[in-house]
Amino acid sequence: MHEEKIALVRQQIAAVRAAAEKREIRDIYVAACGGSLATLCPIQYVLERETDAVSVSAVNAAEFYRDPPRRVGEHALVILNSQSGTTAETVAAARLARERGALTAAFTTVPGSAIEAAVDCPIYYYDDPEDPYPLLLSIFPEVYQLTYALLDCFTGSARLPAMETAMENLETICKRAVAQFAPQAREFARKHRTEPGIYTVSAGLDRCVAYILTNCSFMESVWRHSSPLHAGELFHGACEAIGRETPVVAFLGLGRYRPVEERAVKFLQRITDKLTVLDAAALDLTGIPEELRDVTAPLVLHAVASDFCLQLSYLTGHPMSSRRYMGVMKY
């Protein structure tokens, strides 16, 4: 069953590449809302740094629909993500892009949904906590594989197979990392169980997962104040809000942006007693090709960070599934 789903996803990703090859794509836009947009941001980050064949922008779907970029047209590829397949803003953005002649693709967990009907190329992923699927079929690994399929398309390289190998091994690596950091996760929960707010600090690709930790975990799931601070921007105003008792979770990746994060960590170590550092250098990334470890390390940090918040949820008796407004109130 899973083999069939894996084969289907790879066929769907190949279909996006094949469609892009038939067009003169000059611009790529990723559009979604919240965590769904954050999961698409690696497309922008990687392609911006690996090819000059296309320009790439990330836009909130509501803004994309209400104030669309002028270059959305026949030479554009618009990639969207709606887990439910019904996110109104994302569906509207997809329809607008298609009406303007853009090639459209969308990630969703629901076949036959509104978002699927609105795009040229659907890509299914699987996210059901009560019936877990292999991590390979979740959103981030699929986004990474699409990213490298497009990179091969625009550059003539052959880097997708290595990324497929990395993503096939990701679940084992993430489980190993979560187990490694389990004592720190429990200690984090104990120390932060009464904290009303927790900042996150990151740069580069780590910003995708730091945003999810802030917006989807701390704020949405356990109702704590949080803000995703850019490690480089920290010194240009935000640092003044941080004191000795301010909780901060800081990321340290393996990419060329690491010195930006290191500078922030060194500063935070001096001014707050409540700093938690998630350092990719401490991870065992065996199973990921050496040349891809800097790019994929954020996904492993994401698994670790998610468990930190999950342990906080357990200790406070606040289920991660609790919501006051989303899916409860019309707005």
Query: What is the per-residue pLDDT across 26-42, written as a single tens digit (0 to 9) for each?
Result: 999 999 999 999 999 99
Among the ranges given (51-65, 107-121, 130-144, 270-284), the one the predictor scored with the smallest mean pLDDT: 130-144
* Contact of 40 with 30, CB cutoff 8 Å: yes
pLDDT, averaged across the chain? 97
Cα separation, 14 vs 19, in Å, equals: 9
Higher pLDDT, 327 or 109: 109
DSSP SS3 for 302? helix
* Contact of 143 with 296, CB cutoff 8 Å: no
Q: Copy the structure tokens of residue 239.
A: 């640092």
User: Which residue has 């429990």 as its token pair?
Assistant: 186
pLDDT at 58 over 80: yes
pLDDT at 129 over 80: no
Q: For position 95, what pLDDT does the model report?
A: 98
Mean pLDDT, rounded, for 17-23: 97
pLDDT at 323 over 80: yes
Q: Which amino acid is at 192?
A: H
pLDDT above 70: percentage of residues in the chain? 100
Query: What is the per-residue pLDDT across 100-128, written as a single tens digit (0 to 9) for each?
Result: 999 999 999 999 999 999 999 999 999 87
Q: Please, which pLDDT band fits residue 16 given cuts at 50, 70 and 90?
A: very high
DSSP SS3 for 11? helix
Query: What is the per-residue pLDDT across 272-303, written as a single tens digit (0 to 9) for each?
Result: 999 999 999 999 999 999 999 999 999 999 99
Mean pLDDT, rounded, for 235-240: 98
Q: For position 1, what pLDDT does the model report?
A: 62
